[in-house]
Structure 1
Amino acid sequence: MSEKKLTFKFCDKLVDDFEHVVKHPIVDKSSVYYTGVDLGTACVVLAVLDENYRPVAGDYRYADVVRDGMVVDYIGAINIVREMKRGIEEKLGTELIYGAAAIPPGTDELDSGAVRNVVQAAGFELTNVLDEPTAANKVLKIKNGAVVDIGGGTTGISILKDGKVVYIADEPTGGTQLSLVVSGAYNMPFEKAELYKRNSENHKELLPVLKPVVEKISSIINHHIKGYDVQEISLVGGTCCLTGIEKIIEKQTGIFTHKPHNPMFVTPLGIALSCRQEGM
C-alpha cells in the first residue's frame, strides 16, 4: 500500500470519528482534553480530543465573524466560541481548559493577536497558534507536496519538503467569491446562495458556473508553487467540499490533486492535535 493511501486512511478515519462524536460525544473521563478552535470565515469549529488525541466531542456553527481571514466581529466571535465551549462541557461533564488556534499563513503580525484574544476570552488557556495549512498537515502527514487550505475568505498554501514547511502563502480568494458568483448567476441573496452552494445535491449543476473562480484559485496555487518541485496537492478547507473542485485544480496545475473525506474538518482536527498542556 502506498504512503498516499496510508495518509488518507488515517485522515479519513479521524474525520469519520470526529463526525460521529459531534452527534454522540464520548463521555468517558480523560485526564486532559485538547481543543482545536478554528475561526473560519464561514464556519467556526471546535474539535475536542482526549488524552490519547482521539476525538471525543465537537461542534461547529456557521457564522460571519471572520472575513478574508481577519476577525471583524470580535465580541460575536468570543460569544460563539464561549457558547460552543460551554455546550461541549455540559455534554462531557468537565471543563475544557487547553485550546489551540490557527491563522492564515503570513498573517501573524496582522491578526494573530485578535485570534489569541478570542480564544482566551472564551475561557481557554491558549497553548499554541500555528498557520492553517501546517495544522492541516498534522492530520494529512504529507512529507512532500503542497497543502492548500481553501476557506471561506482565503486560500492558504504550505509547501513541504521532507516533512518540513519550506514556504507559506495566503491570498484573499475562497468560498465567499464562489457564493457571490452563485448569488449573481441565480439572482438570489448572498445568504441563500451560501446555503445553495453548501448543498452537495447542487454541486454538479454549480460546477460549470463556479469553474472560473476555481481556475483563479488554481492560478494562485500555480503562482506560489512555481520554482518548487511539487508532485502532489492536497486540498482541505470547507470550500473544497465542492464536488469536483480537485479535478479542475489538477487540470489547471498539471499536478496530481486530491482531497480527504470532508475537508472542512481536517484543519480543526490538526489544530487540536497541536494543542498541549504547556502555555505559550
Structure 2
Amino acid sequence: MDLKQSNKILKQFAEIVKKQQAVRPISPKEKLKVGIDLGTSSIVLAVLDHDDVPLYGAFQYADVVRDGIVVNYIDSVKIVKKLKLQAEEKLGIELTSACGAIPPGTGETAQKVVANVINDAGFLAHTIIDEPTAAARFLKLEEGSVVDIGGGTTGISNFKNGKEIAVFDEPTGGYHMSLVLSGAKKIPLAEAEILKRETSDEREIFGIIRPVAEKMASIAKQYVVLNEAAPILLVGGATNFEDFVPTFSKVMDHPVLRPEYPQFVTPLGIAMFD
C-alpha cells in the first residue's frame, strides 16, 4: 500500500469532478473502465483508462438508497443515465460497460437490483462487488482492514497476503448521523443532511453525532484484525469530519488512517473491476 500515491490520485480525481472536464482527448478505440457508486446521499460515476488513471468523474446528491438497498429505482436509473450522458459528452465516446457495488452481506437481491439500475441506465453491468473490497483494490491493500462507512451501513473487509479473508457489514452510517442531528436540532432530516456537510459548524455538529461515530468504531473493533503491522483504513464520505479519525483511534485503541477525499476511494475502486 502506498497511501501517498493514493492521496495524489484522489486529489487529481477531486479536481476532475470539480471541473467536470475530461483530462485529455479520448480515442474511440480506447477501452475505458467505469464505476457507479450508488450511495445513500449521492451517486458517483468514475471513468478510468486501461491503466486505471482517472479520466473523468461526476456525482449528484440523491436520496435513493437506504441501508445499502435501492429504495427509489426509477430515480436511481434517471440519475445514472444522466451522469452517463454527461460523461459521454465530455469524453466524446460511448461508455458501454460499468461496475457497481453493494455493502457486504446485503445479498443476491441487492446485487441484482444494482445491476438492473446500471443496465437500465444504458450500461452493461460487468461486475457487482462489495464496497470495502473495492476500496481495498484502489488502495492496493495487501494486509490490514478497510472500514467503509457509507450513508446507511458500515462495511469491514480484512485482508492478508493480498486476499480477502473476511467481510462484514453493520447497519449504521451517515444516515444515522443525520437522524441524530435532526433530533438534536429539531429540524427535518433533509435539512440535517445538508447541515452535516457544513464545514463552518463542523465542531458543533460532530459534538452532536460523536456517539454515532463511537458506536461505529466499537462495531469495527469487533471485526478488524488488530495487528501493529496491519493498517486500518477509514473510507467513505461520512468520515470527512476532522475529529472522526481521532475518535475512531481512541475507541479502537489502535492507529487509524484515512485517505484524502475518502468519499472517492470506493468509486475509483469499483471502476478498477470493470
TM-score normalised by structure 2 residue count: 0.94
Give the letter for the 2:10 counterpart: V
Give the letter for the 1:25 counterpart: A
Task: Supply the distance in 2 between the matched residues of 1:163 and 1:108 (Cα, whole angstroms).
Answer: 24
> Which residue in 2 is equivalent to 1:19?
14
Structure 1 residue 48, shift from structure 2 partner:
0.6
- 1:29 corresponds, among 16, 23, 26, to 26
Matches within 5 A, 1:1-280: 7-22=2-17, 23=19, 24-30=21-27, 31-225=30-224, 228-231=225-228, 232-275=231-274
CA deviation map 1:201-248 (0-9, x unaligned): 2222222211111111111112223xx444431000110112211111
Structure 1 residue 161, shift from structure 2 partner:
1.2
CA deviation map 1:184-214 (0-9, x unaligned): 1122211111111112222222222111111
Percent sequence identity is 44
Give the letter for the 1:28 counterpart: P
Unmatched segments (≥5 aa) in structure 2? none
Task: Supply the distance in 2 between the matched residues of 1:42 and 1:96 (Cα, whole angstroms).
Answer: 24
Structure 1 residue 80, shift from structure 2 partner:
0.6
Structure 1 residue 110, shift from structure 2 partner:
3.5
Ranges of 4+ aligned residues in structure 1 off by more than 4 Å: none
CA contact (8 A) 1:151 1:239 kept: yes
Task: Supply the distance in 2 between the matched residues of 1:65 and 1:207 (Cα, whole angstroms).
Answer: 25
Structure 1 residue 51, shift from structure 2 partner:
2.7
CA deviation map 1:115-149 (0-9, x unaligned): 01001111112222111000001121222211000
3-state SS in 2 of match to 1:45: strand
CA contact (8 A) 1:200 1:243 kept: no
Task: Supply the distance in 1 between the matched residues of 2:32 and 2:201 (Cα, whole angstroms).
Answer: 38
TM-score normalised by structure 1 residue count: 0.92
Task: Supply the distance in 2 between the matched residues of 1:191 and 1:234 (Cα, whole angstroms).
Answer: 29
CA deviation map 1:83-119 (0-9, x unaligned): 1100111111111112111111122323100001001
Task: Supply the distance in 2 between the matched residues of 1:258 and 1:199 (Cα, whole angstroms).
Answer: 23
The two structures, once aligned, show a CA RMSD in angstroms of 1.3
Unmatched segments (≥5 aa) in structure 1? 276-280
